[in-house]
């Protein structure tokens, strides 16, 4: 698992923007609180102005004084000095939903891409919702069929933006019945953990540990201990057999150690013990 010095806030989509805004408030808190400089990246959506204005309104309502939007419709724009400067000035960067392939197609390999990774390394908080969540991993789910049994053909994969190694992320998870396609993904990439994040739910990743926050749950699929798979024997549209897969369902208050592949049932107690060990 590659090192990452800044927090990640990875949201399963449809985060609360009208009520308590718990997830977005946590994002801002990690990104500098009252002095946060928030940059909303709308490259995933085909309605950047409308989506950007919605997020500006939300962030201003929860107390952010400096919030700006950034959109790219052509790759040339992602190589401009002005674009790199916007990334460099932000303390908190948030990717909206839309189409994750637009993010990788328009930003991948550009100066903005490099600036984003430099920002992460110096501790800037990065967040993303829906498509902005899927692209966080090195290998991402592009699209796939929901509410069906695992088959290779039901999920399409592509390289992500590589902010978090060792996982494959799916969003709108329980609401859209995506367990079958996440199982199909980890069957093909068993060295990766599958993270299925429900709507209005997020994982906060710091170092190699995640904390679950929000209304729903996070389903973690671990195929590392699979005892049998027929992946090498079936056609693309034939049913997969997977034996020995581990499934963890973690609501708010729980966590997970990505390096050890172990759930943390009581995250607050784990933090208390961890901090005590560090101070002793």
- Catalytic residue numbers, as ranges: 130, 172, 199
DSSP letter for each residue of 71-98: --SSGGGGGSHHHHHHHHH-SEEEE-SS
**Distance between start and end Cα atoms, the chain:** 27
Which of 180, 151, 178 has the alpha carbon at shortest distance from 239?
151
Which of 190, 211, 207, 218 has the alpha carbon at shortest distance from 259?
207
What backbone torsions phi and psi does residue 188 show, to the nearest 5 degrees?
A: -85, -25
């Amino acid at each position: 698992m590659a090192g990452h010095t800044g927090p990640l806030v990875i949201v399963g989509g449809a985060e609360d923007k009208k009520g308590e805004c718990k997830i977005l408030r946590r994002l801002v808190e990690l990104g500098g609180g009252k002095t946060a400089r928030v940059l909303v990246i709308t490259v995933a959506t085909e309605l950047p102005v409308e989506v950007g204005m919605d997020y500006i309104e939300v962030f201003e309502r929860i107390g952010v004084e400096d919030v700006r939007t950034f959109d790219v419709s052509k790759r040339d724009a992602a190589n401009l000095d002005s674009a790199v400067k916007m990334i460099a000035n932000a303390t908190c960067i948030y990717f909206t939903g839309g189409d994750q392939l637009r993010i990788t197609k328009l930003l991948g390999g550009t100066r903005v891409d490099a600036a984003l990774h430099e920002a992460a390394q110096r501790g800037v908080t990065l967040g993303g919702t829906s498509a902005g969540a899927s692209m966080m991993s090195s290998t991402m789910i592009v699209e796939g069929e929901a509410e069906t049994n695992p088959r290779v053909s039901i999920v399409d994969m592509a390289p992500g933006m590589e902010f978090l190694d060792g996982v494959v992320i799916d969003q709108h998870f329980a609401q859209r019945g995506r367990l079958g396609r996440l199982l199909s993904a980890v069957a093909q990439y068993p060295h990766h953990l599958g993270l299925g994040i429900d709507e209005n739910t997020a994982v906060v990743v710091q170092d190699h540990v995640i904390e679950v926050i929000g209304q729903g749950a996070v389903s973690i699929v671990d195929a590392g201990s699979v005892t049998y798979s027929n992946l090498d024997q079936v056609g693309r549209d034939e049913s997969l057999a997977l034996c020995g897969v581990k499934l963890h369902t973690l609501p708010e208050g729980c966590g997970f150690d990505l390096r050890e592949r172990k759930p943390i049932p009581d995250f607050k107690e784990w933090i208390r013990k961890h901090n005590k060990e560090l101070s002793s």
